[in-house]
Structure formats: C-alpha cells, structure tokens
Amino acid sequence: MSTITSLMSRIFAGLQFENSCDVGVFSKLTNAYCLVAIGGSENFYSTFESELADVIPVVKTSIAGTRIIGRLCAGNKNGLLVPHNTTDQELQHLRNSLPDQVVVQRIEEKLSALGNCIACNDHVALTHTDLDKETEEIIADVLGIEVFRQTIAGNILVGSYCAFSNRGGLVHPHTSIEDLDELSTLLQVPLVAGTINRGSEVIAAGMTVNDWTAFCGSDTTATELSVIESVFKLREAQPSAIVDEMRKSLIDTYV
Amino acid sequence: MEMPRKPARHHRLLPVRPLTFSPFARSVARVATAYLVKHHMHDAMQQSAGDEFKEKLKNIDRQSESSEDEEFDGVVQADFAFFDPKPDDFHGVKTLLQSYLNNKQWDLSGFVDLILGQTTVGTVVKLEDDEDNGVFSIITALNLGRYKDHKCITELKEFLLNLCHEKDKIGNLRSLLGDEAQKVGLLVSQCVVNLPPELLPPLYDALFDEISWATEDEHKNANQKRSSSTDKDEAFVYIKPEDEILHKLSMWSFLFPLQTQQVATHELKNYQLTGIVMAVKAEDISSFRQQLHALINES
C-alpha cells in the first residue's frame, strides 16, 4: 500500500456532477469502497479517484440503469444493499469490483430508494419507519449493525436528511435538541443540526462522508464546511491509520 | 397592500429535472388542460427601489377531469404572488435554471446570484402561503454590458457563440454580445411546466415596466434566449406561448439542438426539442405585450 500524506483538512468542496451540487446523489462512500455514477464530467470521478484510489476501490456504476446511485443503495464496510430493480449485470459488476469481504446483496424491498430510507455507519443504522421487517433483518445481517426505525425532524426519509460516519453526524437543521440527544445516544456519535449546499436541508444529497474524508457540493458555504470539518473530525484524520486498522481484521479472509 | 415576507425555509430538490415542488404543485401537475379562470387583480405596484416588494394577486380556479385519480376532485385553488428576487430564492431559481445552458458545466450559482442581486428588475412567482418557498417562475433581464466581467456571463456568451453555425447571423450575435453589450439585455424566463398562462402577460408587463423605470436608455435591444419546440415537418410548436410572438417580431434568430431531458407531453412525442436564440428590438416590445395579452386572454 502506498504511503498517504496526511493533510490538515480532508474535505473536498466544489464538487459538481454536471451542474448539480448533489454529490450524495451520484456517489456512495464508505470506509471500504466508493461508488461513483457513470456520466457527469471526468472531474467528478477523478476527484474521488485521486483522493481515494490508493486506499479503497473507486467503482463507476449505475444502479437500475440510473445515475442516482447514492439514493438507491445503502452500505458500509461490511456490505452493500441494492434495490430489487438493480440489473444482473450491475450486480455482477459490483461483486467483481468490490473487495470480497463486502457482501453485495440485492433485496426485495418495495421502498426501493434504499439510500433515502437507510442511513448507516459501520455500527448502527437508522431506517424509514415503514421498512419491511425482512429488510431490517438483512441490514442487521449483511451490514453487521443494529437497526433503529426513526424519523428526523418529522421526516421519514432518514437516509436523505442526515449523514453520519463512525465519528460524527450532520442532521436536518430543524431537528430539536431533544431529538438530537436521542439520536446521538442511539448512534453513539456527536451530532449537529445543519445544512449543506447553501442552506439545503437534504444533507445526504449534498455530501458524502466516511471516517477520514468528506466530499461536498460546490454551493456549500465556508460556514457549512467548517461545521462539517468539526463534527466529522476531519481535521487530523489519517486515512492510512483507519484503513490499516480495518485491514488487520480482514487479513484472515485472504487465502 | 403590504405583505410581510415569510422566513425562508429552503426546499431542496433532488435533481433529474424536477417539475413539481410541493404537494400543491403535484396536484396542479395532475390537472388536465381545461380550466376556468377568474381574475382578481390588485394592482399594488411600487416603483422606487427602496420598497421591499410589489405584488399582483391572481386567483385561479382550475377545473378539470382527471381520469386517473378519483379522489382528486379536479379543482385546485392557487394564489400566485409576484415578488422581487431575494437571496432566499436561490435554490428554487437555481433548480429552474438547471438546464439553461444545456448540459454545459458553468457557474450557474454565480448566474443565479446575479439574478437575485438585481432586486429592481425581475420577478419571482411563488405561492401566497407556501411553507416550502417553492419558486414557480423566474423572469428577469440582465444587461450584458454591466455584468460582462462575471464568469457566468463570459461562459454564457461563449456558449451562445459556439451554438451559432449560421455565418450571416454570427456577426450580429458577436456584436450584440461584444461591443453592443451595453445596450443588450438577456431575457431570462423560466417556469414550471404547468404554470397557468394567465400569469404571463402581467409577468412580462412587470418586467418591461421595471426595465424602463430602471433605465433611461430608449434604444435598448433585448436579446433573448429561450427554449421552444419544433418538429421535422416544419410546423413549430412553441412550449412557451410567448416564444411564438417573439419569434415573429425578432430581427433574426437561429435554432440549436437541446440535449436536456425535458418531459415530453403525449402530444409532443414526435417533436424534436430545439432551442432558439432570438434578437428582438426594444421598440417591438410594446407590440409583443399587446399580442401576448390578446393571445392569453382569448384562449
């Protein structure tokens, strides 16, 4: 593995997919892999690639023939869940491109925008209140995490209105203090209520984040960026340390 | 009649060309073409730049048959209001202008900022009491000379020049965008698909009134860039009714292909989506306004 220079700040702002600042719609980032939608300029893909490719695989893909991959799938370092309308080719491509320890599973859930319905890190998930019981079990099983049905500021699309890593999280700006406390206890990470892309409440659409880096849309203001940097503890994040830690536990699976 | 502005709540939309912004707008989108119109117009326009906003209110009763949805009784009450552009409108206006330069990546946010910074000229159409602060239409005019140093304007000019493949017109276009830019206004007009056409005459009236109030230059050329739709059989179908009038009045115009994903209605399925760039003389605008009134009021 090549050496990583540790930067003081690991946020990449100024991203656009075509003319959209909705980074979190066209990508999905975890500690083990990154998915990027096909289409859009090479700049979008290359920003992810240049930052991440030494550490984790960056995979171009579509899901269900669409580019809105970030909103359709949910995953963490243990697995990736894709909706029922994912094609066989896409499924195969993902299985081929992602590390073996990442289990890619297509699930029969009627709420097919999994990325809008599920928000998770490597330990816990928040889900849409109407999610199938079976889906909840698959999340717990495949992603290896605890599942909580929740709303955020009265919104059932929990996957849209928050983004959290193993170190911190950003939630809908109108989340009450009581809800913030409750969610923070469930997730066991510090949370802050805020916005992305110049006042947008749809947090997960405007950004994507893992334990050492965040990618934000180009409308994100300096204030918003500093909040993100602070709550996700990105200032002195060292990706090499984090990935090494993960890899130690994965060594067993190599033949 | 003064109305206080609601505090902003930003309603962010996921991309892929959204057409509807709120539960109300979704109802409107389901309404079919037949409708009844009732006019209530309060003319409370205020001239000076110091005033916060102006408004015209229109109540529109829309009645229609909607075969798809039995629960929906087909009547949608909409109170549209006209406002000066404000910084809060950023997301709504940006969404409307998402495909303004086709798929070209450019400083769209900067362009929207220019529009919103110009509070004396331009109108944003929103609902009276909309929590979501959804923007249904934006209309404004930007003086190309005044904003020539802005990155978005430079990119826009480059885009237009690259579009024009007709030798006899490119000279005209170049001069309008170049040495004549001080006298040229770019008309920016975009609205949601089902915006009631009754709103168009007062919207355009307001714009051109504001322009003449804001400037003393009588011989201003209005350079307009818009989308319209044409088909291969040389019958033009204009998505925006005002485009037909402008096209007839224009000094010159040229067409260009559109790559954006526009939702084609059933009737327009066989038509190819095409953009049009038109140059219209300022002195023809009063004729435009009359014709627009006539067109909308008689249909």
**pLDDT tens figures, B11-35:** 333 333 334 445 555 555 544 332 3
User: Which of A197-211, B115-129, B203-217, B272-286 has the least mean pLDDT?
Assistant: B203-217
Q: What is the pLDDT of residue B227?
A: 40
Q: What percent of chain A has pLDDT over 90?
A: 78
- Give dist(CA A109, CA A132) in Å, integer: 7
Partners of residue A19 in chain B, C-beta under 8 Å: 98-99, 103-106, 108
Mean pLDDT of B56-62: 32
Q: Which domain holds residue A142?
A: 10-249
- Closest Cα in chain B, distance from residue A15 (Å): 11
Q: Which of B10, B15, B103 sits opposite A25 (nearest CB)?
A: B15
Q: Closest to B12 (Cβ–Cβ): which among A18, A205, A218?
A: A205
Nearest-CA distance B232 → chain A (Å): 29
Nearest CA to B239 among B187, B278, B284, B275?
B275
Give pLDDT tens digits for A2-48.
Answer: 222 333 347 787 788 877 889 999 999 999 999 999 987 778 898 99
Please, which residues have CB within 8 angstroms of residue A129's CB and are 6 or more apart in sequence? A149, A150, A151, A156
Q: Which of A79, A119, A93 is nearest to A208 (CA)?
A: A119
Of A68, A200, A218, the CB nearest to B10: A200
Å between A2 CA and nearest CA of chain B: 34
Q: Is the pLDDT of residue A75 over 90?
A: yes
> Is residue A2 in a domain?
no
Contact B14 A199 (CB under 8 A): no
Mutate to test the interface with A, among B9, B11, B14, B135 (most CBs of A within 10 A): B14
Contacts of A205 in chain B (CB under 8 A): 12, 14
Q: What is the pLDDT of residue B25?
A: 52
Closest chain A residue to B17, measured at CA: A20
Q: Nearest residue of B to residue A202 by CA position?
A: B12
- Tell whether A62 is covered by a domain: yes
- State the total domains in chain A: 1
Q: Strand locations in chain B, DSSP E?
A: 57-62, 76-83, 123-127, 135-143, 184-191, 221-230, 236-237, 252-257, 272-280
Higher-confidence residue of A43 and A236: namely A43
What lies within 8 Å, CB to CB, of A78 at 6+ separation is A32, A101, A102, A103, A122, A142, A143, A144, A145
- Angle, alpha carbons A9-A19-A232 (nearest 5°): 25
CA-closest candidate to residue B9, choices B20, B18, B22: B22
Give the A:B interface size as CB pairs under 8 Å: 44
Q: Which residue of A has its CA nearest to B99?
A: A19
Q: Is residue A66 part of a domain?
A: yes
User: Are A200 and B12 within 8 A, CB to CB?
Assistant: yes
CB B144 within 8 A of CB B157: yes
User: What residues does A11 pair with on adjacent strands?
Assistant: A214
pLDDT at B76: 74
Burial of A143 (0-12, 13-18, 19+ CB in 10 A): buried
Mean pLDDT, chain A, whole residue set: 89
Chain A residue with Cα closest to B112: A219
Write b or e for each residue in B77-109: b if 16 or more Cβ atoms lie within 10 A of its Cβ, otherwise e. ebebbbbbbbebbbbbbbbbbbbbbbebbbbbb
Which letter does DSSP use for residue B162 in this model?
H
Q: What is the C-alpha to C-alpha distance for residues A105 and A83, in angstroms, rounded to an integer?
A: 9
Per-residue pLDDT, B193:
83
Residue A157's domain is classified under what CATH number?
3.75.10.10
In B, what residues contact A, Cβ < 8 A? 8, 10-12, 14-16, 90-91, 98-99, 103-106, 108-109
User: Are B12 and A25 inside 8 Å of each other by CB?
Assistant: no
Is A96 a domain residue? yes
- Asked whether the beta carbons of residue A68 and residue B16 sit closer than 8 angstroms, the reply is yes
8 Å CB contact of B12 and A206: yes
List domains and CATH numbers for chain B: 78-218+239-298 (3.40.630)
Name which of B12, B16, B105 is nearest A202 (Cβ-Cβ): B12
Closest CA to A210 of A244, A178, A163, A250: A163
The verdict on a CB contact (< 8 Å) between A19 and B103 is yes
> In whole angstroms, what is the distance from residue B185 CA to residue A194 CA?
38
- Is residue B208 within 8 Å of residue B289, measured between CB atoms? yes
**Chain A residues contacting B via beta carbons under 8 Å:** 16, 18-22, 25, 41, 68, 71, 195, 197-202, 205-206, 218-219
Main-chain dihedrals φ then ψ at residue B61, nearest 5 degrees: -95, 125
Checking if the pLDDT of B130 tops 70, the result is yes
Range name among A61-65, A107-111, B2-6, B153-157 with the lowest pLDDT average: B2-6
Q: What is the pTM for the complete model shown?
A: 0.71
pLDDT at A148 over 60: yes
Is the Cβ–Cβ distance between B104 and B258 less than 8 Å? Answer: no
